[in-house]
A and B are shown apart, each in its own frame.
Chain A
Amino acid sequence: MKRLAPGLSWPRIEEGPIQVACHFCDALQEAPRLHEGDAAHCCRCGEMLYQNRPRSLARATAFSSAALIFMVLVHIFPSVTVDSGSVRHELTILQAANAMLREGNPLIAVGTVFFTMVAPLVLVGGLLYVSAPLRFGIALPGAKVVTRWFQLCEPWSMLEVFLFGILIALLKLGAIGDIHLGTGMWAMTGLVICTACAVAGIDRLELWDRLEIALHKHD
């Protein structure tokens, strides 16, 4: 939704002009302040430098708390249930990992748990921990470390790949028995969407500029 009166740029610790270097071509350039919805692009290679995303902190907070609720649902309810004759199999992420563990593939089990439970949790939980108090200009203890960790976790969070994997597995299963999609499946879809929106809600430079100000107030 676009507002008629464009919002202000986010505050910075230094009032004077600051510089940014493009992450792709290292071109040094002045970093102008942007109105909400605007983006700054590199003048040499055209990659996006940073962006003032509308109501970023509110969005990041809202979507990451929604994602956390979905995450609980994903682990409580099975995503897929297969009835084959008298045998009934339910699938949650933990059961998929557990099956791998039992079949003698502990590394794959650990990987599955890390990529689909730990990394998304650190990403979403860390974002909530940092951005919710930042709305009031507060940085909770360890905010810097948490921000570092959730940024590092971002490429390793593969829940959307897992969701896609379920779809392919269902196509493969086909005739084996009665297949029911469960609450866990829809919760996982919601989780993937909310995680994507939460991460897209806030710009990295903005987050660090705001963090810097919040931390400065403490000193």
Chain B
Amino acid sequence: MEIRSAAAEGLASCHLCGKVSPVELGHCPRCHSPLHLRKPHSLERTWCFLVASIALYFPANMLPIMSVGTIGGASHDTIMSGVLNFWKKGDFLVAVIIFSASIMIPVLKMIALCWLCFAAAGKTHTSPKNLTRLYHITELVGRWSMVDVFVVSILVALVQVGALSNVLPGPAILSFAAVVILTMFAAISFDPRLLWDQHLGRDLSDTP
């Protein structure tokens, strides 16, 4: 039996409630959200969020994310120098956790989303099954990068103007939070069905 796509029959499944109804209705009869065959302007939106997040990734890594003031003076830590300090001190676990949450995951996520966008535009020939798996992973791990932002705010709250030291947030924290939020938006606006459309030799990226 040949498997047909819903789009080929003019049917759209609602993004919110999953009910399949004719796309001409405009709105889902069950939950009243707008019906689309594919997420509208999926690739353009994903690219926009992606480019913005890549641009903000540089200040996030080059500016200090937190400064620690001690009696001897203040030290400014970027994300990478924080990781290196922990590694030198012998706290390998913390160093690895922060490195993977703040540097590795965002970079891998951006690369993965670029790859997915290229594949959805028909520029590469990877099997859509593997690409769907890649999409699942990017969706799953994206929010964990926020951990560094929370760590800084927890440290600021716990070590205010203590007797020993005080911790202040640096300018990088805002751009880093923006990177995480923008990559999450990029993943949400990407439509994995475009991968299969390419695989089957159809282009539905401009459909309503």
A: which residues have CB within 8 A of B? Answer: 18-21, 23-29, 43-47, 50, 80, 82, 84-87, 89, 91, 95-100, 103, 105, 107-109, 111-112, 115-116, 144, 147-148, 151, 155-156, 158, 161-162, 164-166, 168-169, 171-173, 176-177, 204-205, 208, 212
Q: When the two chains form their complex, are residues B154 and A27 in contact, meaning their CB atoms are under 8 A apart? A: no
Most buried by B among A21, A46, A144: A21
The SS class assigned to the B binding surface is helix
Encode contact with A along B67-88: 1 for CB under 8 Å, 0 otherwise.
0000000000000000000100
The A/B interface has a contact count, at CB < 8 Å, of 188
Encode contact with A along B148-164: 1 for CB under 8 Å, 0 otherwise.
11110111111110111
7 shortest interchain CB distances as A-B pairs = A165-B150, A21-B6, A21-B13, A99-B157, A208-B17, A25-B196, A169-B154
Q: When the two chains form their complex, are residues B143 and A158 in contact, meaning their CB atoms are under 8 A apart? A: yes
Q: When the two chains form their complex, are residues A166 and B132 in contact, meaning their CB atoms are under 8 A apart? A: no
Knowing A103-B168, A171-B94, A208-B30, the reply to whether A165 touches B147 (Cβ < 8 A) is yes
Among B20, B30, B135, point to the contact of A28 (Cβ < 8 A). Answer: B20
CB distance from A203 to the nearest CB of B (A): 10
B: which residues have CB within 8 A of A? Answer: 3-9, 11-13, 16-20, 30-33, 86, 91, 93-94, 97-98, 128-129, 132, 135, 139, 143-144, 146-151, 153-160, 162-165, 168-169, 173-174, 177, 181, 184, 188, 192-193, 195-197
CB distance from A154 to the nearest CB of B (A): 11
**Beta-carbon nearest neighbor of B28 in chain A:** A208
**Beta-carbon nearest neighbor of A104 in chain B:** B169
**Beta-carbon nearest neighbor of B165 in chain A:** A176
Among A23, A46, A97, point to the contact of B129 (Cβ < 8 A). Answer: A46
Knowing A24-B193, A168-B147, the reply to whether A144 touches B31 (Cβ < 8 A) is yes
CB distance from B45 to the nearest CB of A (A): 16
CB distance from A148 to the nearest CB of B (A): 6
Q: Which residues of A contact B148 (CB under 8 A)?
A: 165
Q: When the two chains form their complex, are residues B193 and A25 in contact, meaning their CB atoms are under 8 A apart? A: yes
Knowing A25-B193, A95-B157, A173-B155, the reply to whether A168 touches B94 (Cβ < 8 A) is yes
Q: When the two chains form their complex, are residues B151 and A28 in contact, meaning their CB atoms are under 8 A apart? A: no
9 additional A-B pairs beyond A108-B153, A172-B155, beta carbons within 8 Å, are A18-B20, A19-B6, A21-B5, A82-B158, A100-B156, A103-B169, A111-B181, A169-B154, A208-B18
Q: Which residues of A contact B19 (CB under 8 A)?
A: 208
CB distance from B139 to the nearest CB of A (A): 8
Q: When the two chains form their complex, are residues B156 and A20 in contact, meaning their CB atoms are under 8 A apart? A: no
Q: When the two chains form their complex, are residues A115 and B159 in contact, meaning their CB atoms are under 8 A apart? A: no
Question: Complex Cα distance A24/B133, Å?
Answer: 10
Most buried by B among A44, A87, A111: A111
19 contacts between A and B (CB under 8 A): A19-B6, A20-B18, A21-B12, A24-B192, A25-B5, A25-B196, A26-B6, A26-B13, A28-B5, A89-B160, A96-B153, A96-B157, A100-B157, A103-B168, A108-B174, A108-B177, A161-B143, A165-B151, A171-B93
